[in-house]
Amino acid sequence: MDRRAFLKTACSSVAAVSALNFATSAAPLLAASPLDMAAVRGGEPDVMFDKAMSAFGGMGQFVRKGDKVLIKPNIGWDVEPERGGDTNPKLVGRIVAHCLQAGAKEVTVFDHTCDPWRHCYQRSGIERAVKDAGGKIVSGDSEGYYQKIAVPGGKRLRETAAHELFLEADRIINVPVLKHHGSSQLSIGMKNLMGAVWDRGYWHRNDLHQCIADFMSFKAPTLTVVDAYLVMRQNGPRGVSKDDVALMKSLIVARDFVAADAAAAKLFGVDPATIPHIQMAAEMGLGKIDLTGLNIDRIKV
């Protein structure tokens, strides 16, 4: 994609933000209609997450005292935060802090990285952010950490090996970064949980989109937090340079992981029904691809 085409794409992404109809949140929520999603724009990642949690009534809505919490960001790539390849470290650190304040017994963070894990953890800034917030960051690079599981609801993925932290967690908070992906079209929440399994190659060889949807039928995250602060518009998942990235300063937080991915796709400027794994998950009854009727708090910082 040349520079002119990229700028055209970036402009269309701004239009997509407007299409989500963001507005300053003012009206109180009705008790009979709990919030499904918070869509925030205009602030730094940590500040936007604070606003989202305030709209939901605090992290205590999702994390109970004594819970073992797993936070699963994208830390797959040995790139600095400005490249948009990994989840923003400010966001990850703030989520850790909220979980601990809600009374979590422990908060761990990991990813099965694509580049060497020590480099990814350090260069992304996520390792330092997690430790500074009081969380624990764990390696995902050894097959010994993974346990074989059956996926009864899977159509193509009938078994896989998942990280023990994913299996043992009381609460899972999935924190993907929204970006272009050469194999899956977009990488958002469902795609991000491929970093919780050992053999990703099997998925790529055996209907990637269906395997992504199948795995979600095994164990759903408690909350999906989509980082759309810096969005990689092309050359994903790793990116080539900062020119691949558009500053969108947005965040989506949702209970329903299908709805989270659908909203993020719209934000990117793509019809979620054209992303096969999002459509497949909706057809499997795992969540809602149609955002109509959801209680969404649209917040401008």
CA 224 to each of CA 158, 192, 221: distance values in angstroms, whole numbers, following the listed order: 24, 10, 7
Residue 6, pLDDT score: 37
What's the gap between Cα 166 and its chain centre? 15
Residue 126's pLDDT band (cuts 50, 70, 90): very high
Distance separating alpha carbons of residues 264 and 9, to the nearest angstrom: 16
Distance separating alpha carbons of residues 126 and 91, to the nearest angstrom: 9
Task: State the CATH number of the domain containing residue 145.
Answer: 3.40.50.11440
Residue 35's pLDDT band (cuts 50, 70, 90): very high
Report whether pLDDT(25) > 90. Answer: no
Q: Domain limits at 84? A: 3-300
CA nearest neighbour of 74 among 143, 173, 222: 173
**DSSP-assigned letter for residue 131:** H
CA nearest neighbour of 22 among 228, 271, 244, 281: 228
The domain tally of the chain equals 1
Q: What is the mean pLDDT of residues 210-220?
A: 97
